[in-house]
Chains A and B, each alone.
Chain A
Amino acid sequence: MALIEARSLAKSFRIPSDRRETVREHLFNAFRPRTFERLDVLRSVTFDVQQGETLGIMGRNGSGKSTLLKILCGIYRADRGSLRVGAPITPILELGLGWNPELDGIDNILLLGTAMGLRLREAKDAVDEILAFAGLDRFANVPLKHYSSGMASRLAYSVAFKTVREVLVLDEIFAVGDAEFRERCEARYRELSAKGHTIVLVSHDPRVISTFCSRALLLDEGRVAFEGRGTDVVGEYSRRALTASAGPARA
């Protein structure tokens, strides 16, 4: 039995014709009709991931990759379809975004670490290792508001790599930080993969998909447009990208 079974997953967002986000707006416009535009982000996505497998997901911007990952991680809920995940997931998504800017690196590590599943004692013991992995030892007591976005991302990925559960879900993991940090991430990734962790990985980078993924999906307009070996999916992705860029020129 597959560790992750997704069947006909669908997700849409309702975009209202006018924004009503306050009690006042709801009251004053109670009798004014408003329309909703439906944005179908995922139309029907079906796939399996086996225990210990690394599945890559590729697709253009807006193809539904990030939404799919958020559904997998339980951050968004699907509108239709079914999803069975047989093991706890560690999500590594949008980690560069949002911290408590007033707190220093250590407090943010403890906050994110415990939210991601570490016991407080484990998080405290791991602080030095996490800071070293991120290359931020010297900035441990500096408030996050003084970090650059790259530094904040490095710190977040370092926390996430330390909190790994059975399944890892990664979004553009190797696009963060400098070459040295990316190398450390790749080494850690290989180590986790060798230990038998199941990994779902989103990337636009053909090298990442063909190097790290035994199997991959190509998402297009909320559906699985192509499925196969990592190298084959990269080929299809590149072919479609070339076709798309050539299209307007011909016209």
Chain B
Amino acid sequence: MAGGTLMGASLTTASARVDVAGMLWTLARTDFKTRYHGTVGGFIWALLKPALMFVVLMSVFSFIFASSPNYRLNLIVGLFLWDFFAEATKTGLTSLHAKGYLLAKTRFPSWILVVASASNALLTLAVFLATFLAYLVLAGRAPGAAAGALALFYLLMFFAITVGISLAGSVLFLRYRDLNQVWDVAIQAGFFVAPIIYPLEILPERFHFWLYLWPPTPVIQFCRAVLVDGVLPTARANLLLAGMTAVILAVGVLVFRGQVADATEKL
């Protein structure tokens, strides 16, 4: 039994069982089908977007940053990680609204909708990473076990950050229907705040702290360090990233829990 008191009303209900894994899979699969018409050809478009961006940016900026030996690899890692963040948070923001037809019909843990909304972006990132790792292996630059484990850890943190932002955004979007446009602007500006097309080192060191407060920055920098440069970030740096992730996820969960009870009334 689950119980609670909300705004003076006390509610005690028997918990309904939901096959969380089955529902997540069904949502992810049907989202893929809706978005790409269930075809691999359709999915290729999702990969082409950051890939084409890479070609264009590389053509221009690799001349400017010719002195940076790993510029191209750093650029493509940064672009795909950024694309995941931008796509996942954008779809996460509208996830409850988009699946309102399910929320209005029955009761189930609605966070499932938010988490599942990142599935398409996650798939694109997974395909890129598999390809990128294959390249590193063929080029004789395969990351070691520690670097691989850390890269996985950073991706997990990135996913948690994305979920935290999406949880808060999904319920706030029901209250502020132009929040997706506001987020679009933030994402556009955030692309330049994160050191994706430029090496962080070109900026004075006193700005680095501020840039690291933008969540994609540490993830992109740390992933580059372990996958491209073969350098392991310090334990302190990893702890700070974990702390930042915990705060974002906690805030996301708190905002979500505070607002979700009224969500169906705002659909």
Contact = CB atoms under 8 A, between A and B. Distances in A.
B178 A115 contact: no
Contacts of B8: 79-80
Interface in A107-132: 107, 110-112, 114-121, 123
Contact of B12 (A84, A102, A103): A84
B108 A83 contact: no
Nearest to B101: A98
B18 interface: yes
Contacts of B23: 114-115, 120
B205 to A, nearest CB: 35
B107 interface: yes
A77 B16 contact: no
B25 A120 contact: yes
A114 B104 contact: no
B34 interface: yes
B152 to A, nearest CB: 27
A157 B106 CA distance: 12
A9 B106 contact: no
A48 B107 CA distance: 21
B22 interface: yes
B59 interface: no
B15 A88 contact: yes
B79 to A, nearest CB: 29
B63 interface: no
A135 to B, nearest CB: 21
Given A88-B17, A103-B33, A119-B19, A78 B9 contact: yes
A100 interface: yes
Interface residues of A, number: 53
B262 A77 contact: yes
B11 A82 contact: yes
A76 B103 CA distance: 10
B188 interface: no
Given A76-B264, A111-B27, A98 B7 contact: no
A91 B264 contact: no
B135 to A, nearest CB: 35
B265 interface: yes
A165 B108 CA distance: 13
Interface residues of B, number: 44
B150 to A, nearest CB: 34
Interface stretch (A16-24, A50-58, A209-217): A16-24
Interface string A20-38: 0111101000000000000
A115 B18 contact: yes
A76 B266 CA distance: 10
Contacts of B103: 75
Nearest to B12: A84
A81 B105 contact: no
Contact of B13 (A74, A76, A98): A74
A117 B11 contact: no
A87 interface: yes
Contact of A91 (B11, B100, B107, B261): B107
A63 B11 CA distance: 22
Interface string B236-267: 00000000000000000000000001101100
Contact of A79 (B7, B29, B104): B7
A83 B12 contact: yes
A99 interface: yes
A82 B10 contact: yes
A121 to B, nearest CB: 7
A21 B66 CA distance: 49
A114 B13 CA distance: 20
- 10 closest Cβ pairs, A-B complex: A98-B101, A120-B22, A78-B9, A22-B178, A114-B23, A82-B10, A119-B19, A88-B16, A74-B107, A84-B12
Interface of B: 1, 6-19, 21-23, 25-27, 29-30, 33-34, 100-108, 175-179, 182, 261-262, 264-265
27 contacts: A10-B9, A21-B176, A22-B178, A70-B264, A75-B103, A75-B104, A75-B106, A75-B264, A77-B9, A79-B7, A79-B8, A85-B14, A88-B15, A89-B14, A93-B105, A95-B105, A103-B30, A103-B34, A107-B26, A110-B30, A111-B102, A112-B102, A117-B19, A117-B108, A119-B19, A123-B22, A166-B14
Given A77-B6, A91-B107, A116-B106, 5 more contacts: A75-B103, A78-B9, A89-B107, A102-B34, A110-B26
